[in-house]
Amino acid sequence: MTKKIIFVFAVFLASCTSNKALKHPLDKSKSKTVVLENGLKVYLLSDPSFNVSAASVSVEVGSLDNPDDRQGLAHFLEHMLFLGTEKYPDVDEYSSYLKTYGGYSNAYTASDHTNYQFQVLPDGFEGALDRFSQFFISPLFTEEYTAREVNAVNSEHQKNKLNDNWRQFRVSSLFAKEGHPERKFGTGNLETLGDITREELIRFYKQHYSANRMGVALLSTHTLEEMESWCRQYFSSIKNHNLDRNKYDPNFLEKKETFRLIQIDPVKDVRNLNLLFSLPATRHLYKSKPGRQFGFILGYEGKGSLLSYLKQKGWALSLSAGAGSETSDYGNASVRIGLTEEGQKNYKDVIKATMDYIELMRSEGHQKHVFDELKSMASLNEIYASKGEGMWRATQLANEAMMYPLEDVGRVNYLYSDFSSDRYNLILDHIRPNNMLAMLIAKGVETNKKEHFYEAPYSYTEDDAFYKELIVTQTYEDFLIPEPNPFIPKEASVPNRAFKEDVYPEVLKDKKGVKLYFGQDHEFLRPKGVIGLKIMFPKEKMNLTHRVHSKIYAKCVNESLNEISYPAKQAGLNFSVKEGYEGIYLDVNGYKESAMVLYELILKHMVDFSISESQFSAIKDKTVRDYKNFALSDAYQQTREVGMELFMNVKYSWEESLPVADAASLADIKSFGESLYANTFLEAMVYGDFEKSDAKKVISLFQEKTNTVGIEKNEAFNVEYLKLRQPETIQYTNKLLVNNSCFYREYLIGKDSPDLRAKTKVIGTALQQPFFTEMRTNQQLGYIVGSYPNNKDKNYYLSFLIQSGEYSADDVNQRAEKFISTTQQIFDEMQDETFNQLIKSEIEKLEKSPMSISERAMKLKNIIFENDADYLRDQKTIDALNNLQKKSVVSLLNQTVSPKTRRMVNVLSFAENHENTTGAKTSFDDLAKWKNSRVYE
């Protein structure tokens, strides 16, 4: 333990040397670990502050374990476990049960493990555990669904096929060592799995699924005793085959005295340089965290950093670095650099500088202050940060239970008890040119091969001459190892305030130009806070140029702030400067000690940012490419965007924005920034461990720095939405450049009221699972299938979305239409008990309370600024739910979807390779003209 940094929370640190977790006095959680007789490792966490219960099972088998002639099998088996067990044979059972109790589930297959997870409201926890545990006891693997589900895995691959990250991951794996499992194709498709049999699934399952290879985590408000008894009851019959751990060759990359370069021609106009290094096992070094120290120093963005140097040269936009374990036998380190056009031309210099910076890291040795800072932040976070709840936390904990000694589960991320230089040096020792695979992903690179599964064009070359340059190191005056971080909190302690609930923010200022809310936290008692500003501008300012310039302006401000603000981020202070149609959003949140200092710094850069011409041209170039790349993004994203063009009074497409961005100069954006704040309306909230005087200072600082003149709120631009007539069907069809079609439909349900919100919630939840089961599991239309309610301002809608690689948009449209016309039956066939449970779950979801100051602040901000500070809004919805009749829900649903009364917007996007065979038409000739003829409110 370090003596150098003394904190006020030293009282807590006293327990640090033992294995006891550091806890906040309000943290009432309790944990326990158990190993069942079948060898299953269990971690239980009981916490009265949880809103939901969650569980996860991590199994030590993954894509690396696929048989050579069955690539994708581990992933396919993951899908199949959801589709029926002996005790619960119905394919729908598990998901419907979870939906009824306000929950949902997921799973993923990684290299060396597969994880299954769900979350549910506490009342449904035991029943969910019963259904879930059967996955690992008696899955059915029915022939019917084995044959069908292959299509879902294939759709998943179709979706990934045009994704540059997946492509790059796949192509790099081709250059793993001969015979190493890293070379395998992990996800699978029809070609590798099309003729799979039930027997093969059973064989693989028996060969790899065994209780002694599993870790389980249960998180709930239920007591540890209750959870332990459920665990024994439901998980004890998982068979233990006493399997050995899967072992892998620790070197996935051969050492070679040459420069190895893969060049990939991407789908989108991206420009990335990735350097990959093979590492020995590091998972067991979790008390030293050498990978995190490596990533911290190389990925630093402050003064003297590698990124600062690359930016100064005009070569890079971004950089991230990290090192960690891929399996318990080996790991990897990687450096990812977002290049500029110049950077692409000079990519060898970029690599050279990177390797030389790493040489500096080697010669400067192990950095005690970096280790201490990481350790201090970890201790602070263990006490004061929100650890969250639900299935993602469960996932992490189950993985820890499977991968680490049980006594450290729950603390793996916080432990820094071993300051050993040899561990850090071990990593640096492997970051050498002979252990490196370089990848350049950019348009126009030379390629001469095509990867089989993704059809990605690539090339591979070896360059001995450049290798010789790389091994001769060079020193740079600009390079520095990060200096001690001034933002690390030094006085963090539990605020001295009474614990109270239901304390609402009050209005501190309400006059022309400003509305300020202030609230002190009495609920979490953390030394943290949130400053949130929405800066709105006069209506007459809104036009295409304003919109595009504001986008580039926000990026310039962030770039200008980057070097100075980076240490603040490392010290647990987050901030963002974003723009949207309705204005500029500024948020600062984290340890309050330095929050005001950072806030003032941000304002300074907002009114007068300072970046070089080369930094500006890199930003502009990225903006232009992002606009162009939009036509190549996932079909469902493009389709939803088109939908918003119909719905919003002002919305500019990427096609019209592109030339404006292309023509912008640094001087343009500078003068945009200078005049931007002349007239504003400011909505602000200051919340957390602050005083009233801090809140007032937030406003006075803003006014002082910007010299703004206030306007009335109704003079500021705000988005208005399409007024739909009743009945009305608006359809929009378009052609995409990608290989998936998309069907997207929105029905207007009605205007906001407690009763309407209540009904909308019930309808949304009731339809979700049946729609998914029919469209995805039974009809296998595509991988992305969903239905959900949403609102735009005061109107509520019901949406349906299907992305399909196999079926064209009009075909999917007809199939969805058929399903939607029968939705009344879902309620007709629903037993009263299920209906009542559905309502109960919706109530419990609304009763969920935020888990941290920033979550609370976000919720309050939404209520204040979007919903007229109606703090009792959720309670009113709950009251309406309590009075809900099935009859009236069905009548609203019918009125919403019936062709006679519906108010509907239907967007059909056709894949490049799909025909519009039914002749589905757009309801108007010219979008702009049509919008002019419509009412937006």
CA distance 271 to 440: 8
Q: Which of 686, 688, 707 is nearest to 515 (CA)?
A: 686
Count CB atoms within 10 A of the CB of residue 550.
21
> Nearer to Zn ion by C-beta: 60 or 156?
156
Nearest to 299 by CA among 567, 501, 486, 109: 567
Cβ atoms of residues 643 and 744 within 8 Å: yes
CB of 75 to Zn ion, least distance (A): 6
Tracing tokens 């007591």 back to the chain, one arrives at: 223
Q: How far is the CB of 645 from Zn ion (least distance, A)?
A: 32
| Minimum gap (Å) between residue 190 Cβ and Zn ion | 14
Residue with tokens 């961005």: 661
Q: Which residues contact 868 (CB under 8 A, 6 or more apart)?
A: none
Q: How far apart are CB 277 and Zn ion at their closest, in Å?
A: 29
CA distances from 21 to 50, 304, 415 (A): 18, 36, 10
Name the nearest CA neighbour of 109 among 454, 502, 395: 395
Binding mask 310-349 for Zn ion (x = CB under 5 A): ----------------------------------------
Long-range contacts of 424-428 (CB under 8 A, 24+ apart): 424/288, 424/290, 424/293, 424/294, 424/366, 425/362, 425/366, 426/280, 426/282, 426/290, 427/279, 427/282, 427/290, 427/291, 427/294, 427/323, 427/333, 428/294, 428/358, 428/361, 428/362
Sites for Zn ion among residues 355-414 (CB under 5 A): none
Residue with tokens 């003079």, as numbered in its chain: 715
Closest separation in Å from C-beta 534 to Zn ion:
39
Q: Hey, what are 304's tokens?
A: 């003297």
Q: Which two tokens stand for residue 76?
A: 């396919």
> Which residue lies nearer to Zn ion by CB, 150 or 319?
150
Q: Closer CB to Zn ion, residue 114 or residue 435? A: 114
Nearer of residues 156 and 587 to Zn ion, judged by Cβ = 156
Residue (156 or 559) nearer to Zn ion, CB: 156
List the one residue out of 164, 131, 372, 145 whose CA is nearest residue 266.
164
Q: How far is the CB of 81 from Zn ion (least distance, A)?
A: 11
* Residue whose CB is less far from Zn ion, 156 or 389: 156
| CB 150 to Zn ion: min, Å | 12
Given a contact cutoff of 8 angstroms between Cβ atoms, the answer to whether 551 and 658 are in contact is: no
Secondary element (H or E) of residue 2: none
- Distance of closest approach, residue 153 Cβ to Zn ion, in angstroms: 6
Least separation in angstroms between CB 74 and Zn ion? 11
Could you tell me which residues come within 8 angstroms of residue 323 by beta carbon, excluding any fewer than 6 positions away?
A: 279, 282, 290, 291, 294, 295, 331, 332, 333, 334, 427
314 or 786: whose CB is closer to Zn ion? 786
Nearer to Zn ion by Cβ, of 187 and 909: the residue is 187
At residue 42, the 3 state secondary structure works out as: strand
Q: What torsion, rounded to 10 degrees, do the Cα atoms 665, 666, 670, 675 define? A: 10
The CB-of-107 to Zn ion minimum distance in angstroms stands at 8
Between CA 639 and CA 307 the distance in angstroms is 36
CB of 141 to Zn ion, least distance (A): 16
Query: What part of residues 710-739 is at the interface with Zn ion (CB under 5 A)?
Result: none
CA–CA gap between residue 106 and residue 78 (Å, rounded)? 10
Q: Give me the residue label for tokens 């016309």.
A: 821
Q: Tokens 């089989």 map to which residue?
A: 452
Nearer to Zn ion by Cβ, of 156 and 164: the residue is 156
Nearest residue (CB) to Zn ion, 155 versus 272: 155
Nearer to Zn ion, 156 or 382 (CB): 156
Going across the sheet that includes 259-264, the strands are 316-325, 330-339, 271-280, 436-442, 259-264, 457-463, 449-450
- Give the residue with the Cβ less far from Zn ion, 80 or 531: 80
In b/e form, how buried is each residue of 861-890, taking b as 16+ CB within 10 angstroms? Answer: bebbbeeebeeebbeebbebbeebebeebb
Q: Residue 108 Cβ, how far from Zn ion at the closest point, in Å? A: 7
H or E segment to which residue 241 belongs: none
Between 161 and 526, whose beta carbon lies closer to Zn ion? 161
> Interaction with Zn ion in 120-179: which residues (CB under 5 A)?
156
Would you say 40 or 150 has its CB closer to Zn ion? Answer: 150
**Least distance CB 156 / Zn ion (angstroms):** 5
Question: At closest approach, how far in Å is the CB of 61 from Zn ion?
Answer: 15
In the bound state with Zn ion, the residue whose beta carbon lies nearer, of 152 and 488, is 152
**How near is the Cβ of 186 to Zn ion at its closest, in Å?**
10
Does 280 sit behind a cis peptide bond, omega within 30 degrees of 0 on the bond before it? no
Return the number of the residue (156 or 810) whose C-beta is nearest Zn ion: 156
When CB distances to Zn ion are compared, the closest residue is: 156
Q: How far apart are CA 338 and CA 274, in angstroms?
A: 9
Residue 839 · residue 827 · CB < 8 Å? no
Q: At 727, give phi and psi (nearest 5°).
A: -85, 160
CB of 772 to Zn ion, least distance (A): 14
Half-sphere exposure of 854 (CA within 13 A, CB side): 20
Q: Name the minimum Å distance from CB 806 to Zn ion.
A: 16
C-alpha span between 83 and 94 (Å, rounded)? 9
Q: Which is nearer to Zn ion, 65 or 156 (CB)?
A: 156
| Between 44 and 107, CB nearer to Zn ion | 107
Number of residues that bind Zn ion (CB under 5 A): 1
Helices and strands per DSSP (H, E), number in the chain: 32, 25
Which two tokens mark 687?
């919340």
The SS3 call for residue 84 is coil
Least CB distance to Zn ion at residue 192 (A) = 14
* Strand, helix or coil for residue 347: helix
Give the binding site for Zn ion (CB under 5 A): 156
